[in-house]
């Protein structure tokens, strides 16, 4: 018996990091949307947990979140079975697109199917939350608001989700990645990049009450800390906004960025500009918000 699970990438359409917590994590308020692009995880029953991947060099040992998720599922449910996984990797590593967290949730879903649905939705959420701050959001398959360190997840109201769902988006990533711990460390060192939680909630509430398009939701206060070192990011984003009139931002801690496209917009010229700026090896993906 084998199952195959789609493991989507995600975009932080808005991200407000509001401060550092006593436990070392950061509090945030963010609207996150999965996209119709990502990895694929196949799992089939086996004598022990194992992982292979079609991308050379990706860790396939116990440090990989897929195997950590599998062990956590077995512990939480008492399931004595096991599975071997194969990951077809499309989501670029070090992009801030949630690839590892999405893979972990795909593993949980696959094991729940293989085990005869041993875990309830509530139990899956608890397991996912224990694996990482942004894992639980991938259980929703819809735009969500995340708070706390990312473990508090609320589905976006349908009226607001409808303004996002199906929107064309161009995702692009340079050859380099950005370490998330480094980016948060830079925010701590700089000190002045945080947003008041009151202001963050007020801005989000205003967008939810309105009928404004997705373009008016976008924002990311991690950008100044990251852009100060990785100047190629703001140079390209500023050029795309100026010359093509698109709403463009960095997703999460980067290095992936994105631009919202109108229904009729031809993305060819944007692709050309990105390749000219970041080189032909830059990842460029056109997809839609899910």
pLDDT score of 96 more than 90: no
Catalytic residue among 54, 61, 84, 134: 134
Is residue 133 very low, low, confident or very high in pLDDT (cuts 50, 70, 90)?
confident
pLDDT score of 260 more than 90: yes
- The pair of three-digit structure tokens given for residue 53, joined into one six-digit string: 């991947």
Report residue 90 CA to chain centroid gap: 14
Question: What proportion of the chain, given as a percentage, has pLDDT over 70?
Answer: 100
Mean pLDDT of 7-22: 96
Question: Residue 112: helix, strand or coil by DSSP?
Answer: helix
- The pair of three-digit structure tokens given for residue 64, joined into one six-digit string: 């990989």
Told to judge if 10 belongs to the known catalytic residues of this protein, a careful annotator would answer yes
- The CA distances from residue 227 to 15, 186, 201, 223, 234, in Å, are 15, 11, 25, 6, 6
pLDDT score of 1 more than 90: no
pLDDT score of 163 more than 90: yes
Residue 34 is predicted with a pLDDT of: 97
Catalytic residue among 10, 27, 39, 173: 10
d(CA 161, CA 290): 9
Mean pLDDT of 14-33: 95
pLDDT score of 155 more than 90: yes
Mean pLDDT of the chain: 96
Residue 94 is predicted with a pLDDT of: 80
Told to judge if 229 belongs to the known catalytic residues of this protein, a careful annotator would answer no
| Global confidence as pTM | 0.93
Residue pLDDT, tens place only, 41-85: 999 999 999 999 999 889 999 999 999 999 999 999 999 999 999
- Among candidate residues 121, 134, 111, 110, the one with its CA nearest the CA of residue 31: 134
Residue 55 is predicted with a pLDDT of: 92
- What is the set of domains in the chain, with CATH numbers? 2-158 (3.30.230.10), 161-288 (3.30.70.890)
pLDDT score of 11 more than 90: yes
Residue 159 is predicted with a pLDDT of: 94
Mean pLDDT of 5-16: 97
Is residue 262 very low, low, confident or very high in pLDDT (cuts 50, 70, 90)?
very high
């Amino acid at each position: 018996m084998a199952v195959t699970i789609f493991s989507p990438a995600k975009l932080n359409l808005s991200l407000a990091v509001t401060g550092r917590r006593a436990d070392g994590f950061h509090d945030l308020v963010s609207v996150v949307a999965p996209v119709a692009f990502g990895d694929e995880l196949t799992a089939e029953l086996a004598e022990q947990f194992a992982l292979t991947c079609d991308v050379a060099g990706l860790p396939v040992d116990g440090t990989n979140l897929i195997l950590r998720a599998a062990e956590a599922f077995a512990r939480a449910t008492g399931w004595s079975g096991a599975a071997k996984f194969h990951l077809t990797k499309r989501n670029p590593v070090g992009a801030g697109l949630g690839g590892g967290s999405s893979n972990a949730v795909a593993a949980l879903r696959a094991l729940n199917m293989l085990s005869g649905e041993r875990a309830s939705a509530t139990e899956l959420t608890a397991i996912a939350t224990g694996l990482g701050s942004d894992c639980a959001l991938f259980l929703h398959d819809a735009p969500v608001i995340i708070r706390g360190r990312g473990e508090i997840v609320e589905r976006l109201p349908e009226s607001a989700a409808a303004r996002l769902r199906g929107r064309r988006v161009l995702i692009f990533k340079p050859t380099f990645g950005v370490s998330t711990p480094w980016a948060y460390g830079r925010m701590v060192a700089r000190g002045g990049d945080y947003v008041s939680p009151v202001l963050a909630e007020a801005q989000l509430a205003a967008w939810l009450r309105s009928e404004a398009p997705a373009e008016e939701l976008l924002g990311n206060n991690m950008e100044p800390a990251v852009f100060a070192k990785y100047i190629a990011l703001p140079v390209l984003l500023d050029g795309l906004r100026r010359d093509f009139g698109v709403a463009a931002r960095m997703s999460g801690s980067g290095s992936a960025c994105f631009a919202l496209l109108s229904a009729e917009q031809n993305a060819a010229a944007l692709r050309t500009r990105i390749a000219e700026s970041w080189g032909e090896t830059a990842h460029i993906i056109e997809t839609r918000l899910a």
